[in-house]
Amino acid sequence: MNTSGWQRREQRRNLPPELQRRNINVLNHLGIAGMIASRQIQRGPEERDDLEQEARVGLIRGWERFEPQRGHKPSTFLSSAANGQVLHFRRDRASTIRVPWRLRDTYVKGQKLQQVQIQACRPPLSDMELAAALQITAQRWREACSSQQAQPMVPISAIHEQGAGPDHDDQEQRWLDGALQLLKPHQRQLLQRHFIKGDSVRTIASATGVPQHQLRKSIRNAIKLLQRLAEQDGLLPFRSCRPSTASP
């Protein structure tokens, strides 16, 4: 059935108007899924049908998040959403290396603890501290880290569909917009003032009454959290766990 046939079928279905509009808009851009699958088939061992199916899921999710008032072109936004869904599929479910689920679960729990720590503006936990918090041995935590590092990661070059350009810039901007919402409000405002508006730490300290050293620490912790989120979303390779250090 061609796209117009699917559109007629959708119009005959007894669906809520909002859901029907979403489906029709997705069908209007269905060719994007095929385009993404064709590009990604050369970068991994997965079947093309699987990649196209995931790209279609990305189209649906992308349209649900699409905000026309932000000025993005639907095709640009949906291309990034479909491509991101395929990359997540490849990273999370199409890996050729099997990692025991207990080790993977342990690693995820450890990363969540680190995220809470950083969001609270506290220094990251050491390997020994993480192991104690998870009630496991330090060796077990290192095994969990090693198992995660053994998984083949999608190189950052795979995210560039056509090298650096408007599409890539839009994709990075959308990811950053979403990631910033995960920060605490004061961290988000601090990063926006310092990196976007260009205010110096001294200027911000003078305006807010917060000591400069505290502002710098908050900036560092916020950046660390963004790096962790980028790793989890496949935009950066996972960093190796720090080697544990013996207590003096």
Overall size of the chain counted in residues = 248
| Helix axis angle, 212-232 to 166-180, nearest 10° | 120
% of the chain beyond a pLDDT of 70:
69
49/119: higher pLDDT: 49
Q: Which carries the bigger pLDDT value, residue 211 or residue 22?
A: 211
- Residue 150 — very low, low, confident or very high, per pLDDT cuts 50/70/90? low
Domain ranges of the chain: 3-92
Q: For residue 180, what pLDDT is reported?
A: 77
Q: In terms of pLDDT, which residue wins out, 172 or 63? A: 63
Task: Dihedral sign for Cα 154, 157, 160, 166, please.
Answer: positive
Between residues 162 and 33, the one the model is more confident about:
33
CATH number of 3-92: 1.10.1740.10
Region of poorest pLDDT, from 101-110, 176-185, 221-230: 176-185
Paired tokens of 58: 């990305």
Distance CA 108, CA 91 (A): 14
The pLDDT of residue 104 is: 78
Confidence of residue 78 (pLDDT cuts 50, 70, 90): confident
Residue 135: the pLDDT is 92
Question: Which pLDDT value is given to residue 134?
Answer: 92
Shortest CA distance to 85 belongs to which of 176, 183, 154, 182? 154
Residue 140 has pLDDT above 70, yes or no: yes
In the structure, what pLDDT confidence band is assigned to residue 132 with cuts at 50, 70 and 90? very high
CB-based contact 243:127 (threshold 8 Å):
yes
pLDDT beyond 60 at 238: no
Token pair for 71: 């000025």
Assess whether pLDDT exceeds 50 at residue 154.
no
| Mean pLDDT value of segment 226-231 | 72
Mean pLDDT of 224-236: 68
Q: Is the pTM of this model over 0.75?
A: no
Higher pLDDT, 163 or 228: 228
pLDDT score recorded for residue 76? 84
pLDDT tens string 4-62: 566 666 666 667 778 888 888 888 888 888 888 888 887 767 788 888 998 999 898 88
Question: Comparing 136-140, 144-148, 199-203, which segment has the lowest mean pLDDT?
Answer: 144-148
What confidence score (pLDDT) does residue 83 get? 86
